[in-house]
A and B are shown apart, each in its own frame.
Chain A
Amino acid sequence: MQLEKFSYDNKIVRNFAIATIVWGVVGMLVGLWVAFQLVFPKELNLQPYFNFGRLRPLHTNAVIFAFVGNGIFMGVYYSLQRLLKTRMASDLLGKIHFWGWQLIIVAAAITLPLGITTSKEYAELEWPIDIAIAVIWVVFGWNMFATILKRRERHLYVAIWFYIATFVTVAVLHIVNSFELPISFLKSYSWYAGVQDALVQWWYGHNAVAFFLTTPYLGLMYYFMPKAANRPVFSYRLSIIHFWALIFIYIWAGPHHLLYTSLPNWAQSLGIVFSFTLIFPSWGGMINGLLTLRGAWDKVREDVILKFMVVAVTAYGMSTFEGPMLSLKTINAISHFTDWTIAHVHVGGLGWNGMLTFGILYWLIPRIFNTQLYSKRLANIHFWIGTLGILFYAVPMYWAGFTQASMWKQFTETGQLKYQFLETVTYLKPFLATRGFGGALFLAGAIIMMYNLFMTIKQGKLVANEEAEAPALEKVYHKHGSEHWHRWIERKPVQFLVLSLVVILIGGIVEMVPTFLVKSNIPTIASVKPYTPLELQGRDIYVREGCYLCHSQMIRPFRSETERYGEYSKAGEFVYDHPFQWGSKRTGPDLQREGTGNNKKSDLWHFNHMDDPQAISPGSIMPSYSFMIDKNLDTSTTAAKIRAMQTLGVPYEKGYDQIANMELMEQASRIAGNLAKDSVNVPANREIIAIIAYLQRLGTDIEKGKIAENQ
């Protein structure tokens, strides 16, 4: 058989590797900043651009899409070429992919601090960037498939299956969750409302974890771990079961983010069953990874790369054990809305994604630069402080989460809530500080790695085109009929793509279609009315400032919650909420009934609290929003916003957009008048007035309904 000569493209691998390192350090740095904002709220919140609510999405987007994203592409471009014994199909597509992705990251880094956000977690970027993501993702997929089709190795190794499933599923998730109606160049409303929006968002959110942070990295594990250990994977058969079971089950698990919420019960149950089942394929994968080292454990002691990988796979095992447990209702009732969730995701993020990325970088950089690692000692130091960092991060957060949840639930003997919300927050400060220290250790490790790899790169020389040779793919003539050989092999990857698409669509369709089609699935409540124009503007400010990152609007049906916040939430209350604002974390209290019952405060209280939270609530860790007192409300968008809401089915009367601003000013003047009575003179056209209007509206619809019922 004649050998064909070709070369592997290492330049694209290098580019993605450098991007991984740089964005990784940046993303972790922002993470460290937001962590300490919770400890030093006055000093570290630099309003308006660098308040917690605007920076946290920057942190999550940076580590997920910039650090892990580039890490995926680095690993895929390296392994795909070698597994298929061919160069990537197109250098140009690779370049477009690389630079396009970096531009998207830069766009995110600019728009998020500016408050340009959809408020959907891990999908905060606005619609023009969403479109860019879709285009660049297709470029990546195209290049990958074109490469698969011109391969010299017939068999598609299991890593490639994971890459294909990642490509298909992320495309579906991104498109479905990004349905939004633009009202201007950088502002849009989610197509879905309330319960539906929540279901779509967490179907997306959970599967972003599944198909962006997990499946591609499992592919990388199945390639790089055998490489580093120099032995084949423990069981290839197990990896096949792992793959199909994982992608089938994962897609159903999203509703476990919405337990005890207003999501229909049957959807919650479905989410629980599948989330729990997930433990089996996940642990199958973990065991397969760890047992790949069978007979090579002595190497783990010496080889720092294997150390990183062992910690990564162990962290994968821990977080995939914890995930199913957290999706059980009894445990979720405690963990949800607390720092427990933060601990959970960081065991996965720092441990699984972080440590695996580091291991791969240490393995790969010396190879493509044809040299040796600059310092094994530094890599060992990185390993130890990285691992310690994870512990210092996770342990205090578990402790904090569990403690806060039990404080929320405690009653005195006379039946009153034992702790004010604020007491539970101030209690957590030492834990939050220790967590920050853990994060700092982890970041320090990453910076040491950056230096180590920089020196490695400096002493080596990039082998941009690595020579290789392999026999051409044997021509296989199909016995049945006259089908040509290439049709036969082409069909396999394409069929593969279609099959994985079908597998992941089943779960999404079963969960979502009923919620969408059956209108009465969301019981309507007669007293629930659309927001006034001023409240709508105020709501958009709430979205812009990322208030949902610390405040939920979802009261679960527990006595400890109904006592504290008022009546539990009903699905019908959210029918006009584009997007929903249920939140996922209570760093501050729930706000759904902020304008009613025990929670009701005066306009003056809100004014002073937004201006200087610590002056009103000593010990509060909320940032100041005093800039809203000076900033004029942009009313030029009101009419467009009303029309957009009408398009989405919100029943404003015809022609309401024309008189909306008039009504807006009337309501604003009333609030400004209230404040003036308390000797606070602020013009009615300021943003603070709109946010007060929105906060005072929260929860009042149900109250009105009750009054009407009693009459």
Chain B
Amino acid sequence: MLKYIRQYAETISGIEIYPMISLLIFVLFFIAVLYYVKKMDKKYVDEVSNLPLEDDGATDEKNPFQNLKHA
């Protein structure tokens, strides 16, 4: 078994840093996203998160089956 594993290790030089590089890419990317999210404007966030509720406004709390009011 060892013979085969060694064979892989020999044929791609420096393969062991692959997982490290990928992890690094991800961590950097993740930090960038965190930073972006952190500096987002609160007003903007509220506005956007309410988008799904804007389009009709007919959803009644008591009766989710209530009809849409069609114009």
The one of B25, B49, B64, B67 in contact with A371, judged by C-beta atoms closer than 8 angstroms, is: B67
Whether B70 pairs with A467 at a CB distance below 8 angstroms is yes
Q: Which B15-43 residues sit within 8 Å CB-CB of chain A?
A: 15-16, 18-19, 21-23, 25-26, 29-30, 33-34, 36-38, 40
The reply to whether B51 and A153 form a contact with Cβ atoms under 8 Å apart is: yes
User: Once the chains are docked, how many angstroms separate the CA of A306 from the CA of B64?
Assistant: 10
A503 to B28, CA, bound (A): 13
Q: At the interface, yes or no: A240 with Cβ under 8 Å from chain B?
A: yes
Q: Which residue in chain B gives the minimum CB-CB distance to A370?
A: B67
Interface membership of A570, Cβ < 8 A = yes
If the complex has contacts A467-B70, A570-B4, are A240 and B52 also in contact, measured as CB distance less than 8 A? no
Whether the pair B45, A237 counts as a contact (CB closer than 8 A) is yes
> Once bound together, how far apart are the Cα atoms of A236 and B61, in whole Å?
22
> Known contacts A230-B53, A273-B23: does B7 contact A523 (CB below 8 Å)?
yes
Smallest beta-carbon distance A305→chain B, Å: 6
Q: How many residues of B contact A (CB 8 A)?
A: 46
- A83–B70 contact, CB under 8 A? no
Establish whether residues A514 and B12, one from each chain, have CB atoms under 8 Å apart when the complex forms: yes
CB-CB under 8 A for A468 and B55, given A266-B8, A371-B67: yes
A230-B61, A264-B8, A467-B70 as given contacts; A85 in contact with B48, CB under 8 Å:
no
Check B49–A232 contact: CB distance below 8 A.
Answer: yes
Contacts of A371 in B (CB 8 A): 67
B5 CB to closest chain A CB, in angstroms?
6
Q: Shortest Cβ distance from B50 into chain A, in angstroms?
A: 5
B40 to chain A: which residues have CB within 8 Å? 237, 240
Whether a CB of chain B sits under 8 angstroms from the CB of A683 is: no
- On whether the beta carbons of A245 and B33 are closer than 8 Å, the reply is yes
Residue-wise, chain A 390-429 has the 8 Å CB interface mask toward B (1 for contact) of 0000000000000000000000000000000000000000
List, in ascending order, chain A residues with CB within 8 A of B7's CB.
520, 523
- Give every chain A residue within 8 A of B56 (Cβ-Cβ): 82
Interchain CB contact under 8 A, B47 and A305:
no
A269 vs B59: C-alpha distance when bound (angstroms): 49
| A546 to B42 Cα, complex, angstroms | 55
A-side contacts of B66, CB under 8 Å: 372
A252 near B53 with CB under 8 A, answer no
Size of the A side of the interface (Cβ < 8 Å), in residues, is: 65
Of A237, A248, A277, A306, which one neighbours B37 at CB under 8 angstroms?
A237
Minimum distance in angstroms from A620 CB to a CB of chain B: 33
Chain B hits for A244, CB < 8 A: 29-30, 33
Which residues of B are found within 8 Å of A83, using beta-carbon distances? 51-52, 55
A476 within 8 A of B: no
B48 touches A236 (CB 8 A): yes
A220-271 interface with B by 8 A CB criterion: 222-223, 226-228, 230-233, 236-237, 240-241, 244-245, 248-249, 252, 264-266, 269-270
Q: Are B65 and A366 in contact (CB under 8 A)?
A: yes
Task: Check A659 for interface membership: any CB of B closer than 8 A.
Answer: no
Which of B1, B46, B66, B68 is the most central at the interface, judged by chain A CB atoms within 10 Å of its CB? B68
* A468 vs B15: C-alpha distance when bound (angstroms): 58
Task: Kindly state the separation between the CA atoms of A362 and B14 in the bound complex, as whole angstroms.
Answer: 55
- The CA of A222 and the CA of B51, in the complex, are separated in Å by 11
Residues on A with beta carbons closer than 8 Å to the beta carbon of B4:
523, 570-571
Task: Give bound CA distance, A651 to B47, whole Å.
Answer: 64
Question: A708 at the A/B interface (Cβ < 8 Å)?
Answer: no
Contact residues in B for A158 (Cβ distance below 8 Å): 48
Q: Which residue of A lies closest to B51 (CB)?
A: A157
In the complex, are the beta carbons of B45 and A266 less than 8 A apart? no
Please, what's the 1-or-0 string for A156-184, where 1 marks a CB less than 8 Å from any CB in chain B? 01110000000000000000000000000
Q: Is B11 a contact partner of A520 (Cβ separation < 8 A)? A: yes
Q: Which residues of chain B come closer than 8 Å to A155, judged between CB atoms?
A: 44, 47-48, 51
Q: A82 touching B55 by the CB < 8 A rule?
A: yes
A432-470 vs B, CB cutoff 8 Å, 1 = contact: the mask equals 000000000000000000000000000000010011110
Task: Judge whether B29 and A232 touch: CB under 8 Å.
Answer: no
* 7 nearest A-B pairs in the assembled complex, by CB-CB distance: A82-B55, A236-B49, A467-B71, A232-B49, A520-B11, A157-B51, A237-B37
A-B contact pairs, 16 of them (CB 8 A): A83-B55, A157-B51, A223-B52, A226-B53, A240-B40, A241-B34, A245-B30, A266-B12, A367-B68, A370-B67, A466-B68, A468-B71, A510-B18, A510-B21, A514-B15, A523-B7
Interface positions of B (Cβ within 8 A of A): 1, 4-5, 7-8, 11-12, 15-16, 18-19, 21-23, 25-26, 29-30, 33-34, 36-38, 40, 44-53, 55-56, 59-61, 64-68, 70-71
Interface residues of A (CB under 8 A from B): 79, 82-83, 85, 153, 155, 157-159, 222-223, 226-228, 230-233, 236-237, 240-241, 244-245, 248-249, 252, 264-266, 269-270, 273-274, 277, 299, 303, 305-306, 363, 366-367, 370-373, 376, 463, 466-469, 503, 506-507, 510, 514, 518, 520-521, 523, 557, 568, 570-571
Given contacts A245-B33, A463-B68, A506-B25, 5 further A-B contacts (CB under 8 A): A155-B48, A158-B48, A241-B33, A241-B37, A520-B7
